[in-house]
Structure 1
């Protein structure tokens, strides 16, 4: 469906055309008309489906139709997001879509100086994009006034709850007028999300364009079994073979990501790390270097990578499997976006079988195991209940150690690969390959 048929202001349609957007995505086609009609929304959408525009466009349309404010310019729209990177991304999108409108946007998040944010708020702002923690700081210092908010957006609400922001969210919502339009977007609609919606949304319309914990069908999944002591060598082998690609590598801890980026650099491959201990300036520079191609590899923790928007990223590598299976879905959501094909490669140690089994259960499919010549592990992957997190409900997740997405399939590490097991269609398996006994438990 074209944006012209959705009833958006001509200035918004022109701005979309300026950046090459003419046709809406499914979440936009369903959510925008409902939002323009003034309904509260619950939007279920994974990263990469166009959900930012799904709330940003009707938000900007509403403010533009209402005309300029009289008197001091207080925020009329508030967008709450879980991470600094997502705050910057959403702000950039709002400015791009609203460039033909006389509306101002400000962004507040931790890890940056308070005074520039205070100055921006004092000058007056129409749309405020904020992380809950820093916004609480501004409310306590009375440098932010939310009494004029007409539209409230909770973006990636599931991640905000996962990061422990629920008390901060409730404190913020207590400062926002009850007569408002509220839009909540989440990758999943777990019980905690539904409870939040029932408390703060009025008769919401639900728009769900993705199956819960669904992954893009254009992503090929593969596991390389490897001894833990040789993971780094196998990773560098893969990176050396994929020298033309930008690659996102996930580690489990901040220290591990730092060490891994240094080891990749020593191998002659430009790499940067991004995690919660990095300053905001360091994180933004790392992301700029990666997007520009100056750094070919970005090593990241789960929390730091949430909300990253990297167009046409061909490959995501899990150096460590996530402790929570749902985080696998978020990780590989960085690739295979907007219909493009992508690859998700996991380097799995022999003692990570429990984590792998939990991921396969979540996906409801096996993942192909491909042994790489020269890196065949000393023993098979143990798929028993040896991992304490195996099958753990989402509400009992282990504490975070980090505070706060082409055409064709190519070999991952050069010749000599052996398919130890072939999963069903859509998981990267190939029919007719021999199974390595005990490699995969269904």
Structure 2
């Protein structure tokens, strides 16, 4: 007769969890979370199941109910029955989007999807159209609350499947010209591309953070379309920003934002060989070895510093670059190699030394100029003396 351990294991094997082979929402692992745990936690609102029961996020649940109530009043609907009927068939599909078993029962899970989805739609719509706001809307009375909400909607652990948002939007859109793509623009405030250059919103995206990632990385894809990637194990190293500046390499500005959660999203993303954001952060990590490097990049307009301290910026970039895994086909491999070859040329090495030792400050430059002038005067005086001596010899 089989013992209890055998029976238990056989039962577990015969009843595997219903987790899909490719989930799209994960809890951030300790290797990333340990660097800055707060970066992966919502500040004031829970979206989805991962942070749903945290006490400090419960006050926003009343705002979700209030927004849903106002939505029903606007549409002159007496009940949420239509929304429950529409969303309930998607429950199993939505559960399988998470990489772990979801605890809420069926009714609570459907309720969460409806409340969270409707709140997201109403909040983003009111953000863009003040005329839709209620005069007593306490969310938009405080700028910091709006900022916290925009932040929380981009937290990787604070997501619901986008197909739920899309389904709800189609049920409550105001007119035929109203489209779900328009909801995304408030979340692109720090986009890599100017607003007029943004591509179409991929409505088949995983969730809000995934869609913002796809939009922002589309610019990287265009940049690297004709650039061959390389093996990160065979690439050359790259010097710091100050050292490259001394060698004659200049820097140009590019916008940046949402790094930590975009890196976390890329970390668990399957089926894509490129991790554009992660590779870019690694590039910054290689460039910024000291506060002086951060100062140089700030002066070039590449990074913004609202803290007033280049030391803080240096530490932020240093922390961002820890425990990340770059692409198998590293986006900047060939750039690293070209920069290394440029910096290794003897003439460029001499010029870098000259800039560092003699042109690093106004006083050093003045000293070099003074010494040069004295040298020129000395040569001139010597030349005239030689010419005068030769003329005297001819005269004699």
Larger relative strand fraction: 1
Q: Between Structure 1 and Structure 2, whose CA radius of gyration is higher?
A: 2
TM-score (normalizing by structure 1): 0.22
Larger relative helix fraction: 2
